[in-house]
Amino acid sequence: MKVVVINSGSSSVKYEVFESSDLSVLSSGSLERIGESESQHTHRIYGPSGTVNETVRRGRVDNHEEGFRFILSTPVDSPVIKSSEELLGIGHRVVHGGEAFREPVLIDEKVIETIRELIPLAPLHNPANLLGIEAARRVFPGVPQVAVFDTAFHQAMPPHAFIYALPYSFYALHRVRRYGFHGTSHLWVAKKAAAHLEKPLTSLNLITLHLGNGASAAAVREGRSVDTSMGMTPLEGFVMGTRSGDLDPAVPFYLRRATGMPEGDLEALLNKGSGLKGICGANDMREILQMVSRGEPLAQLALELYCYRIKKYIGAYFAVLGRVDAVVFTGGIGENAALIRKQCCQGLEALGITVDDTKNEKAYEEVLEIQRDGAPVKVLAARTNEEREIAEQTLAALLPCSGPRRVREGAP
Ligand code: ADP
């Protein structure tokens, strides 16, 4: 039997097909530019000896339902899925679960309605996720489908970590609070760190740093997220590729008055035109590192600001946790950019956080340990695998005895 993980965007669908018995990846792919004059489907099949066979097809696909049918019609020598019968379940990544979902949930009409009600909190993501869910339910009727939420892992945060100091009624009436995102990634690397350290996750305190295009930190106490840097939306926290991260909340009001910029443009500026891109014109870290090596001062500034903010959060979360067993870097930047790992930890020796240059530069498969010999805090780079985490959570939610959780009543 197979488990399929689907990550649905407004004009794209990404998927990964797992063998349910051992969660090995059988195939993966993406359909891009849904709704445009020509869509592109890329499909990869993973052979037992590590071979990857990629096929690309183009065609007109008007919506997500047509998209799934297009994907399924991949030629028979490289089938995605032969029939619905071989599907044990489908796991959907859903960005915002609000306070309603703290665990993966079997999708039914009520769940769909609740995800819809959460659209004001995630207007860009939840509608796109719903398109994928609704289309998949039509194309694969009878196959159990599970929603796995980016916010769920952080629902364990205590109120003093998630409440903003606004009048309390804004939380009570409008659910304005910190939710946090990247939960599946933080959880996955926390589990990987525990396995690597050969300790139960419930015995460890970790600072996990997901550094991709979006970026966030989590303070993980005994396996539970007790604080995280992203907020009600993914805009808060670190400097990101195109997001400003933490900012004096008065800045947008000032800019509005000073420039007359409309509210929508300001929102786009903070989400899409700020961060690394806003400072040096590039948002891809590889490009920025090349600019730095050419001596471009704004790229240097962007890099310093980026690492400085991360360092501040490491210090803050050290204070939150009291004792830290490991700092874990992940995401495209955290996994691959040794220079950034080093720079984020520079000056933290007094906290026991150090980086050994030789270890830091080593190639690795899943987890790399990079602290200096004898240092009290482990520093790790760990490869994230959100799809695999979603597949695991989907399977767990499908197990009848685990009793999929549905909507949680009320809030603390
Ligand atoms: P997403 O959030 O879209 O999943 P990723 O986790 O793939 O993003 O991270 C993308 C970021 O990782 C980009 O800024 C990219 O430049 C950076 N990155 C990938 N590989 C490297 C590398 N070898 N060195 C530095 N940065 C890298």
Does ligand 1 lie within 6 Å of residue 144's CB atom? no
Which residues are within 8 A (CB) of 293 and not within 5 positions of it... i.e. 6 or more apart?
A: none
Does ligand 1 lie within 6 Å of residue 336's CB atom? yes
**Dihedral angle sign, alpha carbons of residues 103, 328, 367, 30:** positive
- Give all domains of the chain, ordered by start, each with its CATH number: 2-149 (3.30.420.40), 198-386 (3.30.420.40)
Q: How many CA atoms lie within 13 A of 255 on its CB side?
A: 15
Q: For residue 400, what pLDDT is reported?
A: 64
Alpha carbon of 386 to ligand 1 centroid (Å): 15
- Partner residues linked to 57 by β-bridges: 41
pLDDT digits (tens, 9 = 90+) for 301-335: 999 999 999 999 999 999 999 999 999 999 999 99
**How many C-beta atoms surround the C-beta of residue 373 within 10 A?**
7
Average pLDDT, the chain: 93
Catalytic sites, residue numbers: 150
- In the numeric block, the tokens 């994907």 are attached to 71
Q: For residue 402, what pLDDT is reported?
A: 43
Which residues are within 8 A (CB) of 136 and not within 5 positions of it... i.e. 6 or more apart?
A: 6, 68, 90, 92, 143, 145
- Out of 237-241, 315-319, 401-405, 406-410, which region has the weakest mean confidence (pLDDT)? 406-410
Q: Is the model's pLDDT at 84 over the cut of 90?
A: no
pLDDT digits (tens, 9 = 90+) for 88-125: 999 999 999 999 999 999 999 999 999 999 999 999 89
Task: Please state at what angle helix 338-345 crosses helix 297-321, rounded to 10 degrees.
Answer: 60
Locate the ligand 1 atom nearest the alpha carbon of residue 288 and give its number. 16
Q: Tell me the pLDDT band of 411, cut-offs 50, 70 and 90.
A: very low
Ligand 1 site-directed mutation target among 333, 341, 384, most atoms within 8 Å of CB? 333
Closest to 310 in 3D by CA, of 337, 270, 291, 292: 337
Q: Is the model's pLDDT at 61 over the cut of 70?
A: yes
Q: Tell me the pLDDT band of 48, cut-offs 50, 70 and 90.
A: confident
Closest to 91 in 3D by CA, of 387, 381, 336, 408: 387
Q: For residue 410, what pLDDT is reported?
A: 31
Contact 126, 94 (CB under 8 A): yes
> Average pLDDT in the 180-195 region?
98
**Nearest-CA residue for atom 7 of ligand 1:** 332
Quote the pTM value: 0.93
CA distance to 13, 30, 390, per residue, from 183 (Å)? 20, 22, 11
Going through 95-192 in order, the beta strands assigned E by DSSP cover 105-106, 145-149
pLDDT digits (tens, 9 = 90+) for 327-374: 999 999 999 999 999 999 999 999 999 999 999 999 999 999 999 999
Token pair listed for 57: 């097809």
Does ligand 1 lie within 6 Å of residue 30's CB atom? no
Does ligand 1 lie within 6 Å of residue 381's CB atom? no
Q: For residue 49, what pLDDT is reported?
A: 83
